[in-house]
Structure 1
């Protein structure tokens, strides 16, 4: 899930009330990575008192609000501070919830200096604090994150978490097993499996939650020895345990679990069938196609019962992964069962998945099913043209089958460029270069300009001889998305003198608060030349970059280069958020807030988690009240997974012109959960997603800041390109003593 934008911040575009006047699709980049995040917050949130109750808060409530605000401030700025605020309040606060807030904040800040404090908190007299401490250890010692930063997991982390698996409180055991999945090693799966055997299939709700978290942890540890345990657990009569085990086996790429997947495919429960179908697709057994084919029809041929879209989409995806050409007639028939029109969103979304599956199968017989799809305007055509290109590699007959001139929308032009990269050959190269020429014209449309990254990537895929001549001018682009595409495509010839120089210059041209992802991309692309003094010099200069993520990237690369004289911590993040704003967020954290998304498919009501994600929800509220989301589309729709929107560029690369901090919390991603889309830690902005089914793999990885309380049917009916008309915010102000501020 990507984020980025392309323009420098212009103060003239900010209205007196602090809201951007930028047009839709125009994403101003501001001078600090977070400076714009709360430009509208003080003014927008100062409107709160007008509808608030005026009960005077007790001294105890005021003190907790003060501490919450201070914790939030430090968390936002990713700093522990130079004092003893955190260890003092974590261990000695008279308010258990303050201790809990401290633990969660330490996990989000991510400074490993806090680990001893958290290990100590694992022995707190309060179970809620012990649970939060375990969660935080998993956040700080997440092995995937540490691996990216060329750091090793603290050996003590796993031993402390294993000990916490025997805590008397099941709430603590739940968070310990979840954290062990992040911070542990494959060998730690033995400890989880041993405890799984002691859990009843039909336990209390909290025991069931523990069981679910344990399954997810085993999946994350990627220990093949966990496969038999999950297969055994999948024999449970509980459908939820069955699908979670199937999901875990899929995550472990358990190809030998063929018989388990086959058995679960016969379940009456659609969730079990959907996950079993996806798992069957990894088994490298083409004969499994016979069991999957009945699941792609609108109705099961044997029982006559309808197949859900989740089952159909998962089954057709699996058929594509099995690459059995014998499935093509059945896929073609399933596409013809209902009209693929906007009024029938389920069939549109199925067609998108079916087209991709036909491309993956790779057999020429699939062309007959794909060509008609390319003539249907919308997401099905976008998917079909790419799939058809895969079946036509090196074959110029592709241009006789498809009229690329009809692909004029932004999404369609990007798909056309990607398709040309798949086809290859002189005609494809000619057309791609023509796309770049058209985009350079003064009369170029937004669709033409935003297709440039896809065209550059396509030319790189083809491997044209003059690629570097094409790419290097784009290394000076002021569009961060184009620049990132150029950096990715940059492959200097072997004998070039100082081949790293264009990348260094690209980084040095970027203003202090410029496109964060472009900075990180430029620095990361220097990896092949880490031994060069010039490269190490620019990496050391980047340790002073105003944007923290750029400092993290530079620090990681210097570690990889073997540097020992570098700081352990990249330092705090910049923030223009004022103390008054943190205080307002603290006192309004318990206000019940509902965001209503008025869409072309109906209304979706979302309850926002103000206390779990105060910065994220405040950002969402501010954008909504500034009409930011009006007219934007859900540009990404994946059946049975997510719908994603909030991008003014409509290509999953755009945002509001700033980034906000992640607020990873203990909320599970159930059906209807709302999360922030990211391309890395602390890269959220305006893009958000709604889950269409439970997604345990997202837990603890993306900020969960709300849940759908009404209108899930509208969310499930969404197709790529459907628009958000307006977002309304309704807030129940319960505790706000404005006389204190």
Structure 2
């Protein structure tokens, strides 16, 4: 049914339509902060970590502001707000109760466990109960873990939100190593039936809870790994199969590697394989070296590097010579060097060094230096390359990492320990933050015994004084941790407060439409992001400002971990670069699903310019890294990105897409 239009009005509309060739575009919707000064005040107090300013808003007459204040404490994470947040669990408004439960989980205070369990038993809203159960999982200890299994007697077996909440609660507890046989049985039962979110949580619980022996549950886990409709459940269940100590699991993993259509599941299968099952999976892993997805080929090469036995170095050298992708080829060359006999090693090492000399791409040269980290006799070559004048940062960074890897090998000659100490001193004496930070990190490695051999603490303090804060906070932390270790301090020295942390530019925030889209044009294609200005205003404002400055144009993706993330935006191209300011973390009620875009950091409240895109759900990142955008289009491009791929440009797009 349509509404009628009076004749004269219709004629006017027709004339207006004829007078112009196009209709003006509708104005982009404003974000919530542009129209509400109170929300700006709450967000400012959150950004400045002002608990006294936020607490009154938890008692505001308007539920919207009580909810916003509770969510703010998810980022502030101040235990002083615990009584107010616990009180908010009984708020008349369900959205406030949900926000309070989320914030309590983020605070992770064990004192909240019993009140949360009590609230679960009396909660009348299914959605709020789901959040309370997950928060309980973040707060329970060993003695209170059974609270997660004691569901309300009135709960229905068909309550899907109850299953989801319990599954995620058990996952959050499992990440901290808190589990029991009863908890594992419950998780396995959730793995085998809908809803999807509970199955996903259950699969990740089994995959990521440490020190589990899942041999008794091989059958249901194998069923999920091979037949679950969702690739994400299959991948996590496949990872969990790596905890099954039964020879029968090897052919299951080999079958998954050969047949699963999703590369992320194939990657999970390769990672679940170990040395004890090498013979029955070898053929499938060898075929995976030719997988059209480079991330699978890389993971297969890493499998042979770590787990091969009874093979010659020549086998891997010959296969590497037939590979075209630089990164998997370098990993296979590392396998050749690692498994070479004494008679083979010199020739393989010489081949790698010749390839290094001929390579023109700095990332390929970096991969090859990492490869030489398998042979202590390559030490002098790697050191010379690392400290070569005017070397691209990524090459020297990989070089110092290779030198540390060489020293960590059991066959590193004891007589060369003084040489390694000199290398560390040389690195710390430079002005390169990656060389300094990596060398400092090596000093606190217990197995390297640097308390015995490294005496030059004055050099560390001098280097620390040269560090530019807050930009190079990660290097400062590495130096301080090394000093604390070498001086046997019982408690770590805290990082200094970053005076240059970036306040939120509200004028800029208010100009960003809700749902603002951004194009990331890469050498492999175009990816479109949707910015989450209402969830992370400070992070989005910083990103938009950098985009307008052309900051990201010409940068590279410097870190790509198969079935995890593709990360870029580093001005150095090696992951050690940043801006002259840091941002405070903004943790909204959003999890790391496939295509989430997060800000990299060196710890809470140290975010800068580097960002990453997740290949698949990665819930262990939830509440630890700011999510400021999601991929709207181009995930197929994201899955093809590799280290060294170029970010041609990043540009803001006109208009805004509808929220998804």
Quick check: TM above 0.5? yes
SS in 2 for 1:388: helix
Instruction: Find the counterpart in structure 1 of residue 4 from structure 2.
Output: none
Q: Please point out which of 500, 503, 506 is paired with 1:582.
A: 506
State whether structure 2 residue 440 is matched by structure 1 residue 487: yes
CA-to-aligned-CA distance 1:107-164 (integer Å, 9 cap, x gap): 31233322222223223222222222222222223xxxxxxxxxxx4x4222222223
Q: Please point out which of 185, 191, 205 is paired with 1:234.
A: 191
User: Using the alignment, how far apart are the partners of 1:684 and 1:421 within structure 2?
Assistant: 31
SS in 1 for 2:608: coil
The answer (yes or no) to whether the contact 1:634–1:646 under 8 Å persists in 2 is yes
Q: Please point out which of 318, 335, 339 is paired with 1:387.
A: 335
User: Using the alignment, how far apart are the partners of 1:119 and 1:237 within structure 2?
Assistant: 31
Instruction: Find the counterpart in structure 2 of residue 457 from structure 1.
Output: 404
Cα separation, partners in 2 of 1:262 and 1:293, compared to 1, 3 Å: same
State whether structure 2 residue 300 is matched by structure 1 residue 354: yes
Instruction: Find the counterpart in structure 2 of residue 148 from structure 1.
Output: none
Q: Please point out which of 274, 280, 291 is paired with 2:252.
A: 291
Q: Please point out which of 213, 235, 238 is paired with 1:274.
A: 235
Instruction: Find the counterpart in structure 2 of residue 398 from structure 1.
Output: 348
Q: How does 1:90-489 map to 2 (within 5 A)?
A: 90-91=58-59, 93-141=60-108, 153=109, 155-166=110-121, 167-195=123-151, 203=159, 206=161, 209-210=164-165, 212-221=167-176, 222-225=178-181, 226-236=183-193, 241-253=198-210, 254-256=212-214, 257-267=217-227, 269=229, 270-297=231-258, 300=259, 307-320=261-274, 323-336=277-290, 346-365=292-311, 367=313, 368-369=315-316, 371-373=318-320, 376-392=324-340, 395-399=345-349, 402=352, 403-424=355-376, 427-437=377-387, 439=388, 441=389, 443-462=390-409, 464-465=416-417, 466-489=419-442
How far residue 331 of structure 1 moved from its aligned partner, in angstroms, is: 2.0
SS in 1 for 2:55: helix
How far residue 444 of structure 1 moved from its aligned partner, in angstroms, is: 3.7
How far residue 238 of structure 1 moved from its aligned partner, in angstroms, is: 5.3
SS in 2 for 1:165: helix
How far residue 452 of structure 1 moved from its aligned partner, in angstroms, is: 4.3
Cα separation, partners in 2 of 1:497 and 1:388, compared to 1, 3 Å: closer
Instruction: Kindly tell me the number of residue pairs found equivalent between the two proteins.
Output: 610
Instruction: Find the counterpart in structure 1 of residue 13 from structure 2.
Output: none
User: Using the alignment, how far apart are the partners of 1:99 and 1:433 within structure 2?
Assistant: 58
Cα separation, partners in 2 of 1:240 and 1:321, compared to 1, 3 Å: farther
How far residue 703 of structure 1 moved from its aligned partner, in angstroms, is: 1.3
Cα separation, partners in 2 of 1:575 and 1:243, compared to 1, 3 Å: closer
User: Using the alignment, how far apart are the partners of 1:530 and 1:196 within structure 2?
Assistant: 52
Cα separation, partners in 2 of 1:242 and 1:77, compared to 1, 3 Å: closer
CA-to-aligned-CA distance 1:267-323 (integer Å, 9 cap, x gap): 1634443222221123243442211212223xx3xxxxx622122222122224655
The answer (yes or no) to whether the contact 1:410–1:451 under 8 Å persists in 2 is no
User: Using the alignment, how far apart are the partners of 1:237 and 1:135 within structure 2?
Assistant: 24
Cα separation, partners in 2 of 1:721 and 1:219, compared to 1, 3 Å: same
Cα separation, partners in 2 of 1:444 and 1:316, compared to 1, 3 Å: closer
The answer (yes or no) to whether the contact 1:393–1:422 under 8 Å persists in 2 is no
Cα separation, partners in 2 of 1:189 and 1:495, compared to 1, 3 Å: closer
Higher relative contact order (CA 8 A, sep 6+): 1
The answer (yes or no) to whether the contact 2:471–2:580 under 8 Å persists in 1 is no
How far residue 353 of structure 1 moved from its aligned partner, in angstroms, is: 1.0
How far residue 227 of structure 1 moved from its aligned partner, in angstroms, is: 0.9
User: Using the alignment, how far apart are the partners of 1:646 and 1:689 within structure 2?
Assistant: 9
Cα separation, partners in 2 of 1:261 and 1:497, compared to 1, 3 Å: closer
User: Using the alignment, how far apart are the partners of 1:162 and 1:202 within structure 2?
Assistant: 20
How far residue 260 of structure 1 moved from its aligned partner, in angstroms, is: 2.6
SS in 2 for 1:519: helix
The answer (yes or no) to whether the contact 1:285–1:322 under 8 Å persists in 2 is no
User: Using the alignment, how far apart are the partners of 1:242 and 1:156 within structure 2?
Assistant: 29
The two structures, once aligned, show a CA RMSD in angstroms of 3.5
CA-to-aligned-CA distance 1:315-344 (integer Å, 9 cap, x gap): 1222246552332223223434x6xxxxxx
Q: How does 1:531-610 map to 2 (within 5 A)?
A: 539=493, 545-547=496-498, 574-575=500-501, 577=503, 581-582=505-506, 584-585=508-509, 587-588=510-511, 591-610=514-533
Q: Please point out which of 68, 75, 82 is paired with 2:39.
A: 68
How far residue 210 of structure 1 moved from its aligned partner, in angstroms, is: 3.1
Instruction: Find the counterpart in structure 2 of residue 565 from structure 1.
Output: none
CA-to-aligned-CA distance 1:380-422 (integer Å, 9 cap, x gap): 2233233334334974453155344345533333333333222
CA-to-aligned-CA distance 1:642-694 (integer Å, 9 cap, x gap): 22222233323333343221111111222222222233212222222222222
Instruction: Find the counterpart in structure 1 of residue 482 from structure 2.
Output: 525
Cα separation, partners in 2 of 1:103 and 1:323, compared to 1, 3 Å: same
The answer (yes or no) to whether the contact 1:323–1:361 under 8 Å persists in 2 is no
User: Using the alignment, how far apart are the partners of 2:154 and 2:189 within structure 1?
Assistant: 13
SS in 2 for 1:728: strand
How far residue 223 of structure 1 moved from its aligned partner, in angstroms, is: 0.8
